[in-house]
Structure 1
Amino acid sequence: MKPINHVEGRAIPFGQKNVDTDVIIPAKWLKTISRDGLAKGAFEAIRAEDGNIFDDPEYAGANILIAGDNFGCGSSREHAAWALADMGITAVIAPSFSDIFSGNAFKNGLLAIALPQEAIDRLMEVAKTDPIAVDMETMTVTTPFQDRFAFEMDPFRHECLIQGLDEIDLTMAKSDAIEQHEKNNDSSKPWLKPVAA
């Protein structure tokens, strides 16, 4: 996973509430185990409409998505986080997230930042014309107009995201302790040792 310290750029002012994972990535796209190519199916139903915000050239290359309350509700599909990342989104800012989506976002290096509705309203306005910045060190979202919104994040998740550590990295960091545990088991519990064929 890539470390995330600072995200800055245009944001898509989406703002819709109760966007479920089927809207983010429809079920027909779940047949893949690859994280690549899912951007094509992201927000497919919304993108079918003329003049939709996701295909607006104004927001081409945007790396932040501003969403409404209860973003990522519905089923637990990890593909939703994969699709957003494949679109180039690094941070989603909303008043609240479903717990499962928030967990999947974290595990896939996608920032899920919760801010009060008043802050979301302001960011929606700024995003129409100007970039937004997320600083993980100070845990703030800022605009060029001196807006500064502080957010909270679980300390463990925060540390993992800024260091770029996923579950495999965390496990590998304990490899010496795991090896020592296995050696101790071999001597103290010999009945657990595999028998050679």
Structure 2
Amino acid sequence: MKAMTSITAVAAPLPAANIDTDQIIPARFLMRSRRADYAALLFHDHRFDAGGTPKDFVLNDPTWRSAGILVAGANFGCGSAREQAVWAIADFGIRVIVAPSFGAIFRGNCTRNGILAARVEEDRMTGLWRAARTGETVTADLRRRVLATSGGEEIGFEIPEADRHRLLEGLDDVAITLQHVDEIAAFEARQADGRPWALARPDGA
């Protein structure tokens, strides 16, 4: 996973509350491997009609087509636990989502896939909405926990310290586990010494 310290990108506005994971990626697209490119599936039914013709939607507009930051409404990513929703966001090129609140599982999936889910109190979102609606760039500084608009306004955001550490260091679940390899080896040695039957293989080897 790529480490993150600071991201500067065009911010796109998506002000509706309660955007669920089925809107982010419809269920009919879930039977694909992670090797597939999910970018075209992001907000598919908002972006395209039944014949595949683009609709009037923010991420189809040239101003925000290359947005790297999404400024969203409350309870973003609610609904089912599908990780494909985060894959679609990542494949589209969005590395930061700012919202007053997130679906809990969705937020965890963001962190595991290198996306910053930054929580900002609703009454402090005004400057971010203004920047997003005018197609300005915003800088997300993870070290300082600050979002800075191109107009110079700085807004603090909240993120659990464990999530912040993982993003700063670029640690996925495997990398987190490997940080404890010595403790794991010591545990297995104790098991082999005191409970050898617990490590026995079904084939008896």
User: Structure 2 length normalisation: TM-score?
Assistant: 0.91
What is aligned with 1:147? 153
**Cα-to-partner distance string for 1:9-68 (whole Å, 9 max, x where unaligned):** 101112121101000000011001315311111101111263211111111221101111
Partner residue of 1:108?
113
Q: How far is the alpha carbon of 1:135 from its aligned partner? A: 0.1
SS at match of 1:61: coil
In structure 2, the partner of 1:81 is 86
Q: Taking every aligned residue pair, what percent have the same amino acid on both sides?
A: 35
Instruction: Please give the TM-score of this superposition, normalised by the length of structure 1.
Output: 0.94
Q: Is the 8 A contact 1:10 1:131 kept in 2?
A: yes
Q: Is contact 1:36–1:86 with CA below 8 Å preserved after alignment?
A: no
Structure 1 residue runs of 5 or longer lacking an equivalent are: none
| Cα separation, partners in 2 of 1:149 and 1:69, compared to 1, 3 Å | same
| Equivalent position of 1:158 in the other structure | 164
Gaps of 5+ in 2: 49-53
Q: Which moved more, 1:158-167 or 1:44-53?
A: 44-53
Partner SS for 2:63 = helix
Q: RMSD across aligned C-alpha pairs, in angstroms?
A: 1.5
Which deviations, in whole Å up to 9, do the C-alpha atoms of 1:107-127 show, x marking residues without a partner?
A: 111111111223323212112
Kept after mapping to 2: 8 A contact 1:18/1:70 = yes
Q: In the TM superposition, what whole-angstrom CA distance separates every residue of 1:154-175 from its partner, at most 9, and x where no partner exists?
A: 1111111100111110111111
Kept after mapping to 2: 8 A contact 1:73/1:101 = yes
Task: Find runs of 4+ consecutive structure 1 residues off by over 3 angstroms.
Answer: none
CA contact (8 A) 2:98 2:119 kept: yes
Counterpart residue type for residue 89 of structure 1: I
2:188 aligned residue: 182
Quick one: structure 1 residues 193 and 102, their matched pair in 2 at CA, closer, same or farther if it must change by over 3 Å? closer
- Identify which range, 52-61 or 85-94, moves more after superposition: 52-61
Count of residue pairs brought into register by the alignment:
197
